[in-house]
Every structure is written in C-alpha cells, then in structure tokens.
Amino acid sequence: MNPITIIFEPDGKRSCFKTGIRLFDAAKELGVEVRSECGGDGTCGKCKIIVVNGSNLLNGLTDQEKGLLTQREIGDKYRLSCQTKIKEKRDSSTCIITAFIPSESRLGERRIQVKGMEQPVPLNPAIKKVHLVLDKPTISNPVADDERLLTKLQDTTGLVNIKISYETSKTLSTTLRQANWDITVTIWDNKKIIDVEAGDATNDNYGAAIDIGTSKIVGYLVNLNSGEIVSAGMLENPQIQYGEDVLSRIAHAIQSLDNQDEIRRLVVNGINTVLESACWEIPWLGMNKIHEVTIVGNTAMTHLFLGIYPKFLSLSPFTPAVKGSADVKAKETGLRVHPEGNVHVLPCVAGYVGADAVADVMATGIHQKDEMSLLVDVGTNGEVFLGNKKELLSCSCAAGPAFEGAQIKYGMKAVTGAIEKVKIDPETFDAKYETIGKRKPIGLCGSAMVDTVAELLKTGIISTRGRFSQETIKTRRLITPEEEGTGSKSYVVAWKDETAINNDITVSTKDISEIQLAKSALHTGCAILMQKKGVTEKDIDRVYIAGAFGNYLNPENAKTIGLIPDIPTEKISFVGNTALAGAKMALTSRTIRELADKLSKEIRYVELMTEENFKREFIASIMLPHKDLNKYPSVQKYIRNKS
C-alpha cells in the first residue's frame, strides 16, 4: 500500500507514516504539540483535531470519542487524536490526511506580529456617543419619543436629519422610561442612532480593527474617545484547513453554496474568537459594547468574509466583484458585536492587491512623501508598491507559502521551538541557531530558511544556482538522506540528538529551490515596477518591509539571497503589521476612509503576467542573488571569494 502523508495545520508540518499509527503519535514525532492531560489514554478529551480530508483513511469513531465529543463537534469533523489512527484496509487512491489543530488543543505558541508603523491622524471616528437628559412627556406636551430625542440631540450637538435604526426604535419607549429619560445615544457617521443606553455611557466607546490574513487573524480593541489600543487578540485563520493559499480556498468555496457559507462561517467565527479574546482583557467590557469594526485583508479574504462569490478572482483577468469599500450591519455578517453596529471593509486596488495593501500605504505614509519609496509586504500573497506622492505603482507577487514553511521538509510557522536564526561558521561549516522560546528545535520557520540559504551561499556550500558544492566543501553536515536517493544532498542545521523530534533538521536542494521561487516572485515584482518607473536601486530613498514575516528578517541575508534589491541597510525599515495599523487608522478617522477610497482609485496596478520582461526577469531572479551580479555589489564579495 502507498505510504500515507499526514499534514498538521496550521503548523504545516508533514511526513509519511505507516498503517496503525495514531495521529497523536504522528504529531509527537513531528514536534507538533497537542494538549493531552491523560497522556493519550482517551479519557481527558483535550487532544481534539479536525480531520479536513482523508477521513476515509482513518478508523471510525471510538466509544471514548462518542462520549467526549459533542454532536456539533462530530458534525464538524472533530476527532480525538489519541483515538484516531490510519486503518489497515483502504479503498482509496488518496494518500493524504490533513488534520487541523484548533486553538484549544494547541500548546506551542505562535509568534504573531501585532504592532505596526502608523501615521498620526486626527481623531474623528464614525461612532460617537452623546449623553442626553430629556424632558418627560406631559399631557400638555405629548411629543413622540423619537421626536423628543431628535430635537434634544439637535439642540445639544447641532446634528440634523438623523435617523433612528429600526431595531433601536422597537425598544426606544421602554429604554427611555426605564432610564428615567437619562440616556446615551450612539450615532454612526452622523447619520443614524444605532443604540440607546441608560445613563451616561459616553466613556464606553469602543471599536475594533481586524486584519484577516491568509494564515492568521489579528485584531485591536480601540477606545474611540482617545484612539488608544486597549487590548489585542490573535488566532490562526481557521480557513487554513482548506489550503495554505487563497486559490485553494476559492476552489473549495465555489464548489457549492454550502461550501461558500462554510468558509465564510469559519472566518467569521475566527474574528469572533479574536474579539472575545481581546474583550477578556477588559473585565467590564462585553462584545455588545463594540459598535464598529474595520476590516482589511487581501481581496480574496474580504470577498470570502462578505460572502461575495469569489470565482472570478481566480480566473484571468482576476477581476474582483467589488472594489470599493463596504458598510454592513454587524448582525448581517454574523459578528457578535452590537447587532446594530457597523462593519466597514476597506477598498482594494485589484484582484490580488487588497484592502490590506491599501492599509499598508496609509500606515507608512508613502503616498504623501517626496522621497522615492519601495514598500514590500512579504507574505503568501506578496504586494509591492513603488513611488511617492506624485504616483504609486503596485503589483501582486505570488510568493506562495514557502516563507510560512509549506513545501519545506522541516519548514513550519513561527511557533515555539521553531529555529528562527541561523549562522554558519565559514571555517568549520558548523551551524549555530536560535529557537523561538529557547526550546529544543522542531523545525525551521521562514526567517531561518532565509538565513540558512544566505549562509550556505556566503560560505560557498551552495552555488548561485542553489546547488550543493559537495566536491569542494568537506563537512559532515552534508549528508545523503536515505529517502531522497543517491546523490541528493542536504545540510544538517540541527543534529538528531539536539532536536525535540528525534530527527536531523535539514535543508535540501528542493527546500532551497522553494525559497528561490518565492524570493524570485517578490524580486521580480520589485524589478518590474522599477523598470516601469524608470528608477534604479540608487534612486530609491527608503525601503519598507511590512508583514509579520518581514519583521523578523535579517536584512543583509534578505539581500544576499536576492529577496529585495541591494539597497543600503540604513535605508531599510521593518514596519511590522501595517495592514492592522491602517485598519486602526480607518477606525479612528473618517478622513482616512475617504483617503482609502481615493488611493484605491489612484494607485496604478501593474499586472506582472502581461509585462514583456516578466518571464526573463523571473528566471534571472531565481539565481542567488540574481543572474546579474552587478545588481548586488554587496553580495559580490562572497560569491567571488568562493569562485
């Protein structure tokens, strides 16, 4: 029988296993930590997983599972990993099992970048609270409750033509009398009253900013009276169970309306979890006190969240159904904030340059600067901007999930135990590394892969083509793994006895090729925008590296492999999660929303696939750092010293 590959998401860890192994034990072998208070005896019910696909390769539900899992969990494909194993008789050509480990079952802590560069903006949120004390109606003054309220509001604030939402009006008379006519009204966009509360509740004015990333969802809870962040929440994007990349998720969503609803429900539940987590830090604050949420994400993520049919995003010419911003009542989205609250989704630029990229621009302020700026958001769907206040060009670069560890044998996301930094001694060729949380290593995250490839190149262990120089380099760290066949070499970053997975952690030629393809996509985007703009590396005044992954990059090593152009390090700024920072700016300022709509229309999108030089530049960029070494003078010294 064919070996079975088990993939554990959201870590992206995978390997082949034999018949009979429990998923609990397979996870342990890969260093994927799953909660278990009973040690795998099937009595605690803590080692829950979700079997996304390959359930036909597994045994059926056991009595322990039937007793410990709810009917809802069973319907949602939950299993206990200690009770789930590969069965012996299989009638399927499918040889892959994908298991998603939900947050409640995870032990390893994912490192997620929350903070990001942000431009100061005048405080002008769409949500305002006004305290009012109304005169009671009398037989001589029997004015209707809504008219009495709106007249007082106009006298106090000068606001006119305000409407009261239907749901608010249904309980208005009761609320006013129970509050003894001492109330606080919540107004959205100076147009509509969406809530009426008893007493003076003006201090309880909160909103939330959310970044729906392909791999994670991150959010801020913000005091709208001050603009200050009061707490944050984060979660792996549960949609990852249907694929690391947006195309896989779109493919799943368009199979049926049920699938589209399911993948929308997953992201809505994820956002609710993030908001609940943020609210837990403020004991007196319930989610119903949140009256507005601003949301950014790539175009596919926002379409899936809004329930907009996404098929044509995945087909040339990759047209979004909706480009502009959207305002939706919270209860229509499924978010468990105040039901009459507003959900504002920022606009996109094109099919693969989304609202998150617009937020990147606003947060860095490159649209209002004289200096020539290059902004690179490093991620599964990378985005590049080049220009200044006169003009901004943008493009999308399908870097893929290699920087998140996918397609890399020992690759993984940035969780506890992942190697994050690597240094190779040029004399002994031995590796030194650092792990997240100072734990025994279980794999390599994206920043470590960039470090490793750069160090292998600088020490001459690999050539500019990414191939091992095994004839000239003599080190015990160059091995031939049995499963990869004769002649295939790998470099050992961490020896078996140093790791928590009882295996050597290695980097193979195939792994290096995956990084070359990913970095080539990003560099090609930069290069073509520079050609379109008629500028060279010397003309670029500032480089901004955005995104969680980018924040942990070694800039010299990023240049060494050709991930970014060879621009002096002092000109490079790591700006963190600017997508979330931009969403927060839009939450606290209506002016910023107007700016986002303006930028969405003015930024000039460049479709790389239609550019004459695209294929030529992509192939040239696969080389380390580039086919034309004159583009990388700072790296030439390493290459020529080894040639």
The residue-averaged pLDDT of 449-453 equals 95
pLDDT tier at 91 (50, 70, 90 boundaries)? Answer: low
Structure-model confidence comparison of residues 3 and 345, the more confident one? 345
Q: How many CB atoms lie within 10 A of CB 297?
A: 29
Q: How many CB atoms lie within 10 A of CB 92?
A: 9
The whole-chain average pLDDT of the chain stands at 89
Distances (CA, A) of 525 to 56, 95, 454, 465: 42, 36, 21, 20
pLDDT in tens, 252-290: 999 999 999 999 999 999 999 899 989 987 877 889 999
Q: Is 285 exposed, middle or buried (0-12, 13-18, 19+ CB in 10 A)?
A: middle
pLDDT at position 412 is 79
- Going by C-alpha positions, the residue among 36, 28, 33, 30 that lies closest to residue 80 is 36
Is there a shared CATH topology between the 4-105 domain and the 127-198 domain? Answer: yes
pLDDT in tens, 383-415: 999 999 999 999 998 777 777 776 788 887 777
Q: Is 142 exposed, middle or buried (0-12, 13-18, 19+ CB in 10 A)?
A: exposed
Q: Residues near 33 by Cβ (< 8 Å), separated by ≥ 6?
A: 27, 106, 107, 108, 416, 417
**Which sign, positive or negative, has the C-alpha torsion 146, 142, 130, 339?**
negative
Q: Residues near 324 by Cβ (< 8 Å), separated by ≥ 6?
A: 347, 597, 600
The residue-averaged pLDDT of 40-69 equals 87
Cα–Cα distance for residue pair 557/7, rounded to 1 Å: 30
Note whether 75 and 265 are within 8 A (CB): no
- Going by C-alpha positions, the residue among 225, 239, 213 that lies closest to residue 112 is 213
pLDDT at position 222 is 96
**Structure token digits, residue 563:** 């991930």
CATH class entry, domain 4-105: alpha beta
pLDDT at position 209 is 97
Note whether 193 and 247 are within 8 A (CB): no
Distances (CA, A) of 563 to 406, 421, 445, 519, 524: 18, 17, 16, 5, 9
Note whether 289 and 300 are within 8 A (CB): no
- Angle 299-306/355-364 helices, nearest 10 degrees? 120
Q: Residues near 331 by Cβ (< 8 Å), separated by ≥ 6?
A: 339, 340
pLDDT at position 358 is 96
**Alpha-helical regions (H) of 336-438:** 355-364
Does residue 107 surpass a pLDDT of 80? no
pLDDT tier at 543 (50, 70, 90 boundaries)? Answer: very high
Count Cβ neighbours within 10 Å for each residue of 395-424 and write b for 16 or more, e otherwise: bbbbbbbbbbbbbbbbbbbbbbbbbbbbbb
**Structure token digits, residue 273:** 């979890």
pLDDT tier at 594 (50, 70, 90 boundaries)? Answer: very high
What single DSSP character describes residue 498?
Answer: G
pLDDT tier at 244 (50, 70, 90 boundaries)? Answer: confident
- What's the topology of domain 127-198? Ubiquitin-like (UB roll) (3.10.20)
- Rounding to the nearest 10 degrees, give the CA dihedral for residues 302, 303, 304, 305: 50
Biggest CA–CA distance in the chain, Å, is 102
pLDDT in tens, 365-378: 999 999 999 999 98
Kindly report which listed range (155-164, 233-242, 525-534) carries the lowest average pLDDT score: 233-242
pLDDT at position 71 is 86
pLDDT at position 117 is 84
Structure-model confidence comparison of residues 400 and 428, the more confident one? 428
Note whether 368 and 375 are within 8 A (CB): no
Cα–Cα distance for residue pair 85/252, rounded to 1 Å: 26
pLDDT tier at 327 (50, 70, 90 boundaries)? Answer: very high
pLDDT in tens, 337-346: 999 999 999 9
The residue-averaged pLDDT of 571-582 equals 93
Structure-model confidence comparison of residues 412 and 430, the more confident one? 430
The residue-averaged pLDDT of 30-54 equals 80
Domain range annotation of the chain:
4-105, 127-198, 356-392+515-642
pLDDT tier at 34 (50, 70, 90 boundaries)? Answer: confident
pLDDT at position 487 is 58
Query: Strands 478-479 and 490-494: what pairing?
Result: antiparallel
Does residue 312 surpass a pLDDT of 70? yes
pLDDT at position 469 is 82
Note whether 99 and 8 are within 8 A (CB): yes
Q: Is 91 exposed, middle or buried (0-12, 13-18, 19+ CB in 10 A)?
A: exposed
pLDDT at position 108 is 58
**Which sign, positive or negative, has the C-alpha torsion 242, 246, 252, 253?**
positive
**Structure token digits, residue 403:** 């920087």
pLDDT at position 398 is 79
Q: Where are the beta strands (DSSP E) in 427-521?
A: 431-435, 443-444, 478-479, 490-494, 505-508
Cα–Cα distance for residue pair 399/406, rounded to 1 Å: 11
Number of H helices, E strands in the chain: 18, 27
Does residue 517 surpass a pLDDT of 90? yes
Cα–Cα distance for residue pair 545/525, rounded to 1 Å: 14
**Structure token digits, residue 440:** 């025994």
- Going by C-alpha positions, the residue among 184, 525, 164, 179 that lies closest to residue 379 is 525
**Structure token digits, residue 422:** 């690597």
pLDDT at position 403 is 78
